[in-house]
Structure 1
Amino acid sequence: MNRRAFLGAVGATVSVGLLGRRAFATEDPLVVRVWPSTRAAEHEPVGRLRGYLVAALEPVVGPVAVQRGEGSVDLPREGGRQVLSRRWPRRVLLGASGFGQINPVDGVNLLVTDGDPTVQPAGFARPGVAAATGASAVARMPPVDEIDPVVPYSIPAAATQLALHECGHALGFTHEQGSVTESEGGIVSSPMVGSYYWARPAVRDRQLNGAENACGESYPAPNLGGKRRLRLRYADCVTDRHQ
């Protein structure tokens, strides 16, 4: 894909957004191309992540094709703002201009590194481009068809949800399109809110900015008793509105 086509596709993503895309749906699937870093490739996270991306995105946007990018991406380190939010987007733009090894698509170009998903910043996204840490943790997740869509909090589940979170941002989702609900004696956070809900108050307030549930209810209190649970699908009411 050349630079003009790539930037045009990114502009369409900004205008239409993840939810609006369904109204303009064609038979062509949304393509999510995933590149592992060189260290992440040792864990082969793409195959495991593919199932979770398809299961979460298809109810919202229709058919999804998850592809592995050719080769792996050499990085000076596996996390940090410089790598996730600067180096990777530059690599994607260079690839769109015909330079380097990255051949971007007009859907989502996702980098997965072997960085620690509990250390911030753990991910990054802008239209058409996303990055997430936690490859070794994702690789420890069971196949998507062997577990429920809502799971107890764990580092592997949080890393998997992080990839869904950043892909959602790359397609136009905001934190306001996430949900946090009480269910089965626990608090369930969907991908577009994720672990931010249990972060320090200053971080939570900055990231969520007083957002309310996409489903209309107020967030339950973060210090409410109960187990932490993560949803590996986007919020039901958001999906239902666009089916």
Structure 2
Amino acid sequence: MKRRAFLGTIGSTASLGTLAYATRGASDTLEVRIWLSERAATYDGVADRIRAYLDETLALGYWTLETSIGGSVSVSTEAAARLTHRGEWPMALASGTLGGRDLEPASDVNLLVTDGGMERAPTGYGVPHIASVGGARHIAALESFDDIVVDDARSIVPNTTPARTMQVLLHEIGHALGLDHKDGVAFVHDGALVATPMLSSYAWDPTYERNASPCGTTIPASDDRKQMLSFAFSSCARRRLANYDGEIRF
């Protein structure tokens, strides 16, 4: 059933509609498969580092997380957002091949990581079941989860380029699971403004609507506060994830 829903979603990525999720059984498995562009694969340990972080951030109580590595693929560009937004990555998954390599999609999230730059947005893109993000070199340089986290309860970390790259990766996975920017929040911790994955750097964008969150919170003014990141999805986002069952209906 999840396989049919996945293929139907790929066929509709060009005209995404309103998403609705039924209740998911507590014993179900969340499948995340990771692919690397050929350039991204030249950095040692990228896929293993991603899997280690997903084990810390996506191993939630309502599913069993199953991560796997799909291998490396040849892509037309390292600009990760373009690969999904313009259809190359979704269509490759739908056809089951890319650059001469056979692809076997996972049911829930198919993540492509490239060596694209992280300086100029968009640095990643996510649609139902499919995501892509750049920054492989920064992920390779990222410290272990235990070494970087400064607050265990909310997985707060400094706003460095490697940490921001990993949060963007979580952000795009959130989109692949049906989350939106409005499922993110920001809060003040020890004088710093901390953004959760689905809000991310929008937290300190002065043009972003700061009081429109359906999660029941407003975004505190950034002022001269230090900027920090959280790898933990907001309670609002987690409530939506708890209702995800792999089905996407338009």
Shorter-chain TM-score bucket reads 0.7 to 0.9
Aligned residues: 227
Change (3 A) 1:238 1:127: closer
Taking the aligned partners of 1:80 and 1:174, their CA distance within structure 2 comes to 19
Amino acid at match of 2:73: V
Change (3 A) 1:63 1:146: farther
Consecutive unaligned residues in structure 1, runs of 5 or more: none
Amino acid at match of 1:234: F
Give 1:45-84 correspondences, 5 Å limit: 45-59=46-60, 61-69=62-70, 71-79=71-79, 81-84=81-84
Q: State the Cα deviation string for residues 2-47 of structure 1 (Å, max 9, x = none).
A: 9746325779xx431xxx6xx4225342010000100001113111
SS at match of 2:187: strand
Matched-pair contact (CA < 8 Å) for 1:94–1:100: no
Amino acid at match of 1:15: A
**Structure holding more helix per residue:** 1
Match of 2:220 in 1: 220
Amino acid at match of 1:212: S
Change (3 A) 1:2 1:177: closer
C-alpha deviation, 1:133, in angstroms: 0.8
SS at match of 1:195: helix
Give 1:111-126 correspondences, 5 Å limit: 111-126=112-127
Match of 2:41 in 1: 41
Q: Under a length normalisation based on structure 1, what TM-score does the superposition of the two structures give?
A: 0.82
Give 1:29-178 correspondences, 5 Å limit: 29-43=29-43, 44-59=45-60, 61-69=62-70, 71-79=71-79, 81-85=81-85, 86-95=87-96, 100-148=101-149, 149-178=155-184
Taking the aligned partners of 1:37 and 1:173, their CA distance within structure 2 comes to 25
Q: State the Cα deviation string for residues 48-73 of structure 1 (Å, max 9, x = none).
A: 0112222222226421111100x311
2:20 to 7, 10, 15: 15
Taking the aligned partners of 2:55 and 2:212, their CA distance within structure 1 comes to 27
Taking the aligned partners of 1:139 and 1:4, their CA distance within structure 2 comes to 34
Match of 1:6 in 2: 6
Root-mean-square deviation (CA, aligned residues, Å) is: 2.9
Taking the aligned partners of 1:79 and 1:9, their CA distance within structure 2 comes to 23
Matched-pair contact (CA < 8 Å) for 2:156–2:230: yes
Taking the aligned partners of 2:191 and 2:2, their CA distance within structure 1 comes to 51
Percent of pairs with identical residues: 34
Taking the aligned partners of 1:173 and 1:60, their CA distance within structure 2 comes to 18
Q: Under a length normalisation based on structure 2, what TM-score does the superposition of the two structures give?
A: 0.80
Amino acid at match of 2:119: T
Taking the aligned partners of 1:168 and 1:60, their CA distance within structure 2 comes to 16
Amino acid at match of 2:231: L
Amino acid at match of 1:227: K
Amino acid at match of 2:25: A
Taking the aligned partners of 1:8 and 1:37, their CA distance within structure 2 comes to 25
SS at match of 1:229: strand
C-alpha deviation, 1:211, in angstroms: 3.1
Consecutive unaligned residues in structure 2, runs of 5 or more: 13-18, 150-154, 244-250
Matched-pair contact (CA < 8 Å) for 1:30–1:64: yes
Q: State the Cα deviation string for residues 95-117 of structure 1 (Å, max 9, x = none).
A: 18xx9522101110000001012
Once the two structures are overlaid, the 10-residue window that deviates more, 36-45 or 183-192, is 36-45
Amino acid at match of 2:146: D
Change (3 A) 1:213 1:53: farther
